[in-house]
Amino acid sequence: MTAEPDSALHTDAARPSRREQILQAAARLFAERGSRSVGVDDVGAAVGVTGPAIYRHFASKDAMLAEMLLRISERLLAGADQVVADAGEDPAAQLAALVAFQVDFALDNPALITVQDRDLGALSDDDARQVRRLQRRYVERWVAVLAALHPQASTADCRARAHALFGLINSTPHSAGRLSRSAMAALLTAMATTAATA
Walk me through the domains of the chain, giving residue ranges and CATH numbers: 62-197 (1.10.357.10)
The residue type at 153: A
> With bands split at pLDDT 50, 70 and 90, how would you rate the model's confidence at 112?
very high
pLDDT, residue 7, reads 47
DSSP class per residue in 30-66 = HHHH-GGG--HHHHHHHHTS-HHHHTTT-S-HHHHHH
pLDDT, residue 10, reads 45
Give, rounded to a whole angstrom, the gap between the first and last alpha carbons of the chain.
25
pLDDT, residue 53, reads 86
Tens digits of per-residue pLDDT, 3-16? 545 544 544 446 67
CB neighbours (10 Å) of residue 96?
18
- Inform me whether the pLDDT recorded for 162 exceeds 80: yes
Inter-helix orientation angle 155-169/125-149, to 10°: 110
Structural contact between residues 22 and 64, judged by C-beta atoms closer than 8 angstroms: yes
pLDDT, residue 179, reads 86
